[in-house]
């Protein structure tokens, strides 16, 4: 099996809705828990899987929000961390493809779902 088909099987097993990324053939968009939230992008970057969630335009973040994100990095996050990528503030994590399993990916997606609203609260 390919890494892409393995990933799709795991997402189906987890009951997570997903779709191909419209501009990146190596990526999938995984729907958020609530329809109004942005999806998580899962990108296969051999030898790892990168999960990325856009939080906001980096230029729009105030000092209070940046402090909140750093506190979450230090106090709550286990698998992912906040950062700046290009013009975006993102929540991002990587998992090795060689040992990717449903438990680990499920935990990562759950962490991203949980933290998504906390950063801008």
- Beta bridge partner(s), residue 96: 48
* Domains of the chain (ranges, CATH numbers): 3-116 (3.30.1460.10)
pTM metric for this prediction: 0.91
Report the pLDDT averaged over residues 95-112: 93
pLDDT (0 to 100) of residue 34: 78
pLDDT of 18 over the 80 cut: yes
Strand 27-30 with 88-96, pairing: unpaired
pLDDT of 120 over the 80 cut: no
| DSSP letter for each residue of 52-112 | EEEEEEGGG--HHHHHHHHHHHHHT-SS-EEEEETTEEEEEEEEEGGG--HHHHHHHHHHH
Q: Give tens-digit pLDDT for 22-51.
A: 999 999 999 987 778 899 999 999 999 999
pLDDT of 1 over the 60 cut: no
Q: Give tens-digit pLDDT for 68-85.
A: 999 999 999 999 999 999
């Amino acid at each position: 099996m390919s890494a892409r088909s393995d990933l799709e099987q795991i997402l189906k097993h987890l009951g997570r809705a997903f779709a191909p990324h419209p501009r990146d053939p190596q990526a999938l968009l995984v729907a958020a828990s609530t329809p109004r939230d942005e999806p998580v992008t899962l990108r296969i970057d051999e030898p790892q899987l990168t999960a990325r969630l856009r939080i906001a335009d980096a230029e729009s973040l105030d000092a209070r929000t940046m402090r909140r994100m750093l506190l979450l990095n230090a106090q709550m996050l286990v698998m992912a961390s906040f950062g700046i990528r290009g013009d975006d503030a993102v929540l991002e994590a990587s998992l090795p493809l060689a040992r990717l399993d449903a438990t680990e990916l499920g935990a990562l997606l759950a962490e991203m779902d949980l933290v998504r609203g906390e950063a801008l609260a």
